């Protein structure tokens, strides 16, 4: 996208990418979490990606375009996510209970036509030799990658009454389990908070990739420093630009910081997280 609409602080203004990237860096950090697709029939949450050191231009984009939106250029990645959303919709229509599979998806390189296919093959191979192999063919299962794609594509997972089983003993209605970052409700402390599946897209990170900041909200922070090395290695992240606009789903807790000015979403561990990087 060459244009995006900014709604920060009550402002409703359309920015061209060439003008937006010239703004003061501090202003960009404020506005980038409040961008939308310029198509008024879509208004999908949008992201800003800075120019890369290897020559890739700055750009706007969105993971939330409606199907009919002309701004939503077709891509292999988009087609795959749309297919995953359709599969989840079919699961929700047929299954009263779904087993959630936390088996980690290993992604060692940024997505492309080849790496996306190889990641899928690696994932399938790993699951076939682990917990999934012990389940009957009739049991509906759902993993983090497919859940995230379906949530971003509006499958209705986050409003469904379908029961999601976690770790073989905890049952939640899907609508009570999956929470968009912008709708996160913090508790007073981590000890008081109950874990949920939080999801959305990443606006940007801090300079050292210690924190991730979700799009469409500027009061939520996700510290990853405790598991940073494992996460960056698994998803092939080497630069701040890699996470800008990426989809994110994680299992964790939401609570207030000490001054109650910012919501903190704390990861459960280094494996119950999936980052859907953008294909360059």
- In degrees rounded to 5, what are phi and psi of residue 106? -90, 120
Pairing of β 196-205 and β 211-214: antiparallel
pTM of the model: 0.82
Give the pLDDT score at 126. 40
Give the pLDDT score at 254. 97
Closest residue by Cα to residue 6 from 20, 14, 244 = 14
Closest residue by Cα to residue 103 from 156, 140, 141, 138 = 141
Give the pLDDT score at 136. 42
Give the pLDDT score at 146. 94
Q: How far apart are CA 60 and CA 13, in angstroms?
A: 14
pLDDT tens readout for residues 190-249: 888 999 999 999 999 999 999 999 987 889 999 999 999 999 999 999 999 999 999 999
- Regions of the chain with pLDDT less than 50: 111-137
Give the pLDDT score at 253. 97
**DSSP, res 236:** T
Domain boundaries, the chain: 3-62, 88-280
What value, to the nearest 5°, has the Cα angle with vertex 147 and ends 146 and 152? 100
Q: The tokens 């061209």 sit on which residue?
A: 16
Give the pLDDT score at 108. 52
């Amino acid at each position: 996208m060459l244009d995006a609409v900014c709604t920060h602080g009550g402002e409703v203004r359309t920015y061209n990418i060439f003008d937006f990237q010239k703004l003061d860096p501090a202003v960009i950090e404020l506005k980038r979490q409040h961008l939308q697709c310029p198509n008024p029939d879509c208004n999908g949450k949008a992201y800003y990606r800075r120019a890369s050191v290897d020559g890739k231009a700055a750009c706007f984009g969105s993971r939330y375009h409606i199907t009919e939106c002309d701004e939503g250029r077709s891509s292999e990645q988009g087609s795959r996510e749309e297919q995953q959303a359709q599969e989840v919709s079919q699961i929700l229509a047929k299954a009263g209970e779904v087993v959630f599979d936390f088996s980690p998806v290993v992604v060692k390189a940024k997505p492309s036509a080849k790496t996306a296919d190889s990641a899928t093959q690696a994932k399938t191979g790993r699951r076939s030799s682990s917990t999934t192999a012990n389940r009957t063919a009739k049991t509906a299962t759902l993993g983090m990658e497919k859940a995230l794609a379906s949530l971003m594509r509006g499958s209705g997972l986050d409003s469904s009454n379908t029961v999601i089983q976690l770790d073989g003993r905890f049952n939640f209605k899907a609508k009570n389990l999956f929470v968009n970052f912008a709708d996160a409700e913090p508790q007073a402390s981590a000890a008081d908070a109950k874990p949920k599946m939080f999801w959305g897209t990443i606006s940007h990170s801090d300079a050292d990739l210690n924190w991730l900041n979700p799009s469409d909200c500027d009061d939520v922070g996700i510290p990853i420093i405790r598991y940073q090395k494992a996460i960056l290695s698994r998803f092939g992240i080497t630069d701040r630009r890699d996470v800008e606009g990426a989809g994110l789903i994680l299992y964790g807790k939401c609570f207030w910081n000490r001054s109650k000015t910012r919501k903190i979403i704390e990861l459960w561990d280094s494996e119950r997280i999936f980052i859907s990087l953008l294909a360059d």
